[in-house]
Structure 1
Amino acid sequence: MNENQKVEDTLLQDATRYAREVGEQIVSFMKKPLRIQEKKNVSDLVTEVDLLSERILQERITSDYPEHWMMSEETDGSLRNAHEAFLLPQTGYGWIIDPIDGTTNFIHGFPHFAISIGIVKDEQLVCGVVYNPITNELYCARRGHGAYLNGRLIQVDSESQLEHALLATGFQADDWRPNSPVIEQIGRFTGKSRSVRIVGAASLDLCLVASGKLTGFWHEGLYPWDVAAGVLIIQEAGGRVTNREGSPFRLSDNSLVASNGSIHQTLLSFL
C-alpha cells in the first residue's frame, strides 16, 4: 500500500466514524418535536438537526484535517455557483457533505434518509460514505477498492432489459409542481419499465443502484453534496454514471443518469 492509499484508507475510516457519530445524534431527535424552517417553499426544509449534524461534521473535519477544504449543503446551499465551483480547478483534498439527505423524509419519520460524505482529491472522487442511521446500512467505497454495504462487497445488477428494470427518480423542491418535466419523464417509462420509484434521498437511491436493488436512477438539478459519495459507490460497484448527454458525470453537472451499465444507453434514449 503506497502513501496515498494509506492516507485515503484513513480518510475513509474517519468519514465512516463521523457518519456514525452524526447518525446517533439524528436518531436521538426522531421522537422529539422539531423546529422546521422553510428555505424556499413548503418542500424545501431544514431543521435544527440538519444544522447540528453539519456543525459536528465540520468540527470533526476541521480538527482532524485543517488543511482540507469543505462544501456542505446548509453552509453552501444558498450559493448559486455550487456547480460552477467545480468548473474551476480544485486542488488538494476536499470534503463534500450533506448532513441529512432526505430532510423531508426525516421530518415525517420515513426511514429513507442519510448522511452523505464524499471526499475528492484534485477533482477526483476518492472516498464515499452514505449512512442510513435508521436501518444501520452503511455504504462506502474507496477509489480502486470496490464498494461495500456493512463490510460486504456489492455489485450492480445484471439486468439488460428495460422492461425488467426497476428505476427511480426524484424531484428537487422547486420542481414539485404541476406540469413538472419529471412527471413527463416518468410517463415515458410507463409500461416500458417494471416501475419507477420516488423515495426522496438521492444519495441512498444511488446506493440502491450500486447494490443491485435498483437498475437505474436519474435526476435533474442535484447538487454536489447530494451525489459525491453515491457516484463513487456506483462506479466502484461496476455501474455507470453520466450526465443526460451521456458524458462522464462531473460534479459541475446538474443532470445525472446512473445505471448498472447494461441499460444505460436505453435509459438515455428515453430521457
Structure 2
Amino acid sequence: MNKVKNPVATDLYFKEAKHVILTAGESVRNEIFQKKIIHTKENFTDLVTNVDREVESYLIKHLIKLIPDSHLVTEETNATNAIAFDQQPYTWVIDPIDGTMNFVHHFPRYAISVALYHYNDIVFGLTLDIVNNILYSAIKGQGAYMNDTLIHTSTIDSLKHSLIAYGIPSAEWRATSRSKQILFSLFGECQGIRNSGSSCLDLAFVATGQLDGFWHYHLKPWDVAVGILLVEEAGGICTNFNHQISNLKDDWIIASNKPIYDEFISHIRSAADVK
C-alpha cells in the first residue's frame, strides 16, 4: 500500500480542498435562479450546464495549484473509466454538480464532490450539500463527519424497518431491466424507498444513518469515490453485486449499515436472479 508519507501534507491538502469546495458551493447558490445554458450529452436525461463547467474549471484551477502535476478524473473535462491510479502519485476525482437534473429543475438535492487519491489509496473525500451548505467529509482512517460532527451508520437491523434509496440510469428504463426487477421487489419489503437523484448525497445519508441502504447500477467514479469512503468510515459496507468491496470500476454499488447488509444484498441478488 502506498501511504502519504507526510501527514502534515494531508492535513494541508484537506484544509485547502475544504476551502475550495465551500467557495464553489457559495458560487452555485448565487446562480440557482439565474438563467442557465443547458446542453445534453449522451441522451435527453444526461444534462450539463454552464454552471457545471464553471465549477469544474474553478475546482481544477485551485486543486492543481495545490498539488501541481496531479492527475484528474472529472465528469466534464476528463471523464474516463480507464483509471490508472497506480501510475499517478496524486489523482483528484471531481464531480462539479452531482444531480444536475435536480439543479436545472430547482429540486434541492445536488452536491459537489471531491476526492484525493495517492496512487490506489483514497486520502480523503468531501461532499458538499450545496443547498443546505452541509459538508460531509472523511480522511481515511479518521472517521466521517457532517460539518464538525462525527457520524455513524444506523443501527436498524432488518430490511422491513429500513429506509432504502436507489438510482436507475436511463439505459435501464425498460420493463425487463434488472434494476426495475430489484425496485419492484422492494415494495412492501422495507419501510420506504427514495430516489433523490444524487448518489453522492444518498451515500452521505447512508453514512449519517438517515438512510439504511442504497443501491445503484452504472455509476461513474466521481459519483461514488467520496461516498464509499464516507460509508466505510462511518461503519458501513459498500460492495459490488458479488460481495466484493467496492472500487471505482464496479458497475454496481450496494451500500448499507452492517446489520442489514447480508439481508439487503441477498434480497437484491435474488430479485435480479443472481445465483
TM-score (norm: length of structure 2): 0.92
> What is the CA-CA distance between 1:173 and the residue it aligns to?
3.7
Q: Which has the higher contact order (CA 8 A, sep 6+)?
A: 1
Amino acid of the structure 1 residue aligned with 2:256: S
**Which residue is 1:112 aligned to?**
109
Q: Distance in 2 between matches of 1:128 and 1:234?
A: 11
- What is aligned with 1:56? 58
The CA distance in 2 between the partners of 1:234 and 1:11, in whole Å, is: 21
- Report Cα offsets for 1:66-101 as digits up to 9, x if no partner: 131111000123x4xx1x425x73431211000000
Cα deviation code 1:21-60 (max 9, x no counterpart): 1111111111111111010222100000000000000100
For residues 125-157 of structure 1, give each alpha carbon's deviation from its aligned partner in whole angstroms, at most 9, with x where no partner exists: 120100012101100000111100010000000
2:238 aligns with 241
- Is the CA contact 2:143–2:234 (under 8 Å) kept in the aligned structure 1? yes
**Correspondences of 1:211-250 after superposition (within 5 Å):** 211-250=208-247
Letter in 2 for 1:22: A
Aligned match of 2:119: 122
Aligned mates of 2:173, 2:16 — CA distance in 1: 36
1:261 matches 2:258: yes
2:79 matches 1:66 = no
Q: What is the TM-score normalised by the length of structure 1?
A: 0.93
Deviates more, 1:169-178 or 1:153-162: 169-178
Task: Please tell me whether the aligned partners of residues 171 and 200 of structure 1 are also in contact (alpha carbons under 8 angstroms).
Answer: no
Distance 2:34 2:171 in 1: 28
Residue 206 (structure 2) aligns with = 209
Q: Percent identity?
A: 35
Structure 1 portions without partners, runs of 5+: none
CA distance in 1, matches of 2:135, 2:176: 36
SS of aligned partner of 1:263: helix
* Residues 137-181 of structure 1: CA deviation (Å, up to 9, x unaligned): 100000111100010000000111110010001122433455443
> C-alpha distance in 1, partners of 2:23/2:198?
20
SS at match of 1:74: coil
1:158–1:260 Cα contact (<8 Å) kept: yes
Per the alignment, residue 160 of structure 1 pairs with 157
CA distance in 1, matches of 2:88, 2:40: 34
Residue 12 of structure 2: aligned partner: 10
Which SS does the other structure have where 2:259 is aligned?
Answer: coil
1:23 to 9, 22, 25: 25
Q: 1:42 aligns with which of 38, 44, 68?
A: 44
- Quote the Cα distance in structure 2 between the aligned partners of 1:63 and 1:6: 17
Which residue of the partner structure matches residue 83 of structure 2?
Answer: 85
**Residues 97 and 39 (structure 1 numbering): CA distance in 2 closer, same or farther, change over 3 Å?**
same
Aligned partners of 1:4, 1:204: CA distance in 2, in Å? 30
Give distance in 1, aligned partners of 2:193 and 2:29.
29
Alignment partner, residue 273 of structure 2 = none
When structure 1 is superposed on structure 2, of 172-181 and 146-155 the one drifting more is: 172-181
Q: How many residues align?
A: 265
* Equivalent residue number for residue 190 of structure 1: 187
Q: Is the 8 A contact 2:172 2:180 kept in 1?
A: no
Q: Distance between the aligned counterparts of 2:132 and 2:72, measured in 1? A: 27
Separation in 2 of the partners of 1:219 and 1:197? 12
RMSD: 1.5
- Could you list the structure 1 runs, at least 4 aligned residues long, displaced by more than 6 angstroms after superposition: none
